[in-house]
Structure 1
Amino acid sequence: MRNLFAFIYRFRAFLVFVLLEALCIYLIVQYNTYQGAAFFNSANRYVGRVLEFQSGVTDYFNLATVNSTLAQENALLREEVLKYRQANLTDSISQMDTTLLVATDSATVHPFSLHAGRVINNSVRRNNNYLTLSIGTEDGVEPGMGVIAPNGVVGRVKTVSAKYSTVTSLLHSQMLISAKIKKNNTMGTIKWLGGDYRTAILDYIPLHVQMSKGDTVVTSGYNTVFPEGIVVGTISSIVREADKSFYTVKVKLAVDFAQLTYVYVVENKQKAERDSLELNAGILPNE
């Protein structure tokens, strides 16, 4: 306290000067319209800049929460798209019975739901690549579920813990996906042969099939993992080899696996029933 009084006494003249200057500024601003308006406009501008900077800093540290919320909202929107697509497929099959859609259970019309998750580990340079997601059994994720990104197919859930899950990437030597050429519904199998992480092979396309570069390849819907019509990629090259009965078709994958941030795990509410039925019938599942 003694030091404080000593400081005030030492700089008493300067402190009185500052106090009088402040009082003068207050009186000028308070009792002069022009100076008051100029002062408050300037003050508002600088205060606005400070608040804007503060808001920017706060928003930066809240980005993880914002992104997670947006991913959840996108998952709901994509569910609606899948529901609309599934309803159209069902409607096209049941054109002769207009009451069928009304009498059909909602899980039958739309068996798929999506769970948004953040990618916390990923590889693209190995022969067998995997991803790790920040969601697990507590979020409804189970082994065998499909995984998609906003622009295409990603892979399949391999193992799950309470809060995390690992995914066998499409960029895996043992990963096969049942697919078809969208314009003519010709069935094939997508397989990654290594090397370029943006290119895969579409196998088993017969030589009589008409196709061209740029044609879209989508999931076939012949399994319980992926809904029908999810984009896999576009045809980038077609080669007819003399010693083979099928084309060698290269597909440019729609997903850039090196830049994955958020993905969606696909839950099929009818998977257990269908898998059990096909297993009992001795039918091998489509990849």
Structure 2
Amino acid sequence: MKDLQDLAIGATDGTIGDVKNLYFDDDAWVIRYLVVETGSWLSSRKVLISPIAAGTADWSTKLLPVSLTREQVKNSPIIDSDKPVSRQQEMDYMGYYGYPYYWGGAGFWGEGASPGVLMSGYSSLGVGQSLEQPEVAAADATAHHDDDPHLRSCKAVRGYHIHASDGDIGHLQGLIVDMETWAIRYIIVDTSNWWLGHQVLIPPQWIQEVSWADGKVSVNLTRQAVKDAPHYDAAAALDRKQESRIYEHYGRPGYWESGE
């Protein structure tokens, strides 16, 4: 999460600004929007950028390119990023950029696993145009107008208390995001309150309940299982071998085995 918040966002014709926060879907545990603070060119206004437009991040320069122009961003719907984002605002946003809705399918993004599938076939359209017939789009908008988009701030959840089935185990230090699907693969748990200060990774699928009002996350693991789990080293790259060790420790199949 910290690395993502350090990224600059580059449009096709110049820099847009820097990532200051991210909104994730607390139902699917997927990043839905980057909150980007623009520079002086747009009076430092905060705008939302969907991973649908994102390219491949260049970590050496800390730049994430997006398939948008600065003019598109400038004229995009104004959404107050300090307030909850409604489904209607999402519809306006998607309609403006000509994106299909990401909700309603079996995948993370519609019927697909990656946000790029929602961009396919849309690049030739103008701003605000959609492949959907007007009648279909109108019916869809009416049906989902009052849906809860389940969007949460990544910044806000940092520091949440983590509870095992038999007691406290630490606090949420950060999130690890799969940049291909933008799925949150792990929450980083800092156990320094209880043990020797190491960090461990827990997949969000093992979360039983989140009390947003109290800032508490309950997981269906024991304290001992978490204590004995492989330590996470933020300075080292997380590869499939290390991920396998985590799942093997808990005796559970990896997400890659189920095609997630």
Give the TM-score, by structure 1 length.
0.23
Which structure has the bigger radius of gyration? Answer: 1
Higher share of residues assigned helix: 1
